[in-house]
Structure 1
């Protein structure tokens, strides 16, 4: 069951070690009405595909030798309402600094266009609760964003697949660092909606696709 996705979780989970302390992060990847997720309380390199839990969008564990992440409600809530292909959650240092300040990440650099016009803050709720899941999804929907800062908690980012969700997480963490460092020297400039729209249009032809060959 979800063999490909369970292997993807095993392959990508170790990358969380560079983004979050201890065993505080988690990730998942979806196919249809179920998803494979990191197990709870286990080192990121200490489980195999057979250990990886498979969970339904209702939160029922369907397979796997280990229990899933305690943040299953947040993953199911995001998948049901926003329908991404993958989710990454971390307590990365710079995003969590904004989280404890209760501040969003404004559009101070064009790379924020990878996840939206700004990264909103979801109201605090205890981890692993339906309340937190609802707060996160409401914030992301309201800002039309693919990432969200969780007040006094951390960061969540989504993508069409795990590599993209991880890349978005790294982008946001880096931008949080740039923003907070810039604030030590003055008031950071913000890009306008029109400037960000120009960036999004340029992103459509960026890279090694047919249009750039």
Structure 2
């Protein structure tokens, strides 16, 4: 089976999306790119995460041709592949419909440095202009907006998180959902003071060596 390890990770982290509350039902999608082989494993469309088996995960080439699987890929495969082409540091993309990040997306509010954990994305989380799901226009909107950030809100839709591995992309999605919740709650009370660019620069520098290597 092509990309067996990648497909197993798609199953594992798909179930984690549900258990962590980062999406519901069949919402959202996730993929892993094997740059050496030029192939991407992406979740199939319209199947409950708990029912997806490794062989159901779709393998695509970079031209969106199905290389292995009898299932149809996620309808959002276009922006996954576009992100892989846009940035060579990205090897995994996770799209969520998590409640607070999606709330910010529907308000079309970027998430500023209200908490230092926004550093999982960068200095902020920008908002990509609205475009219909599954379209080239949406892929263009996301790739034009993401720049060097690791997360982007999709206006009136949800969030996309990226990383050099699926574990990292998942961590980005999880931490940015937390920051989105904090931002929503603080905005409900008043006008939260933000962390300065200078202080966020220090946070981002420390993040480079954070954790086990």
TM-score relative to the length of structure 1 = 0.94
C-alpha distance in 2, partners of 1:206/1:76? 29
The match for 1:12 is: 13
1:157-196 matched pairs, under 5 angstroms: 157-196=161-200
The match for 2:87 is: 82
**Bigger shift: 172-181 or 41-50?**
41-50
The one of 123, 131, 154 aligned to 1:150 = 154
The offset of 1:60, in angstroms, is 1.1
Contact 2:120 2:176 (8 Å CA) reproduced: no
Contact 1:16 1:26 (8 Å CA) reproduced: no
CA deviation digits over 1:112-149, x for unaligned, max 9?
112111100000000000100010011101xx211000
The offset of 1:202, in angstroms, is 1.9
Contact 1:147 1:155 (8 Å CA) reproduced: yes
CA deviation digits over 1:36-74, x for unaligned, max 9?
011000010212111110011211111112111000111
Structure 1 gap segments, 5+ residues each: none
Could you list the runs of 4 or more consecutive aligned residues of structure 1 that deviate by over 4 angstroms after TM superposition? Answer: none
- Secondary structure of the residue aligned to 1:45 is helix
Structure 2 gap segments, 5+ residues each: none
The match for 2:28 is: 25
RMSD after superposition: 1.1
Contact 1:124 1:152 (8 Å CA) reproduced: yes
Give the number of aligned pairs.
207
The offset of 1:203, in angstroms, is 2.1
The match for 2:132 is: 126
Is 1:114–2:117 an aligned residue pair?
no
- Secondary structure of the residue aligned to 1:184 is helix
- Secondary structure of the residue aligned to 2:23 is coil
- Secondary structure of the residue aligned to 2:192 is coil
C-alpha distance in 2, partners of 1:205/1:91? 30
The match for 2:76 is: 71
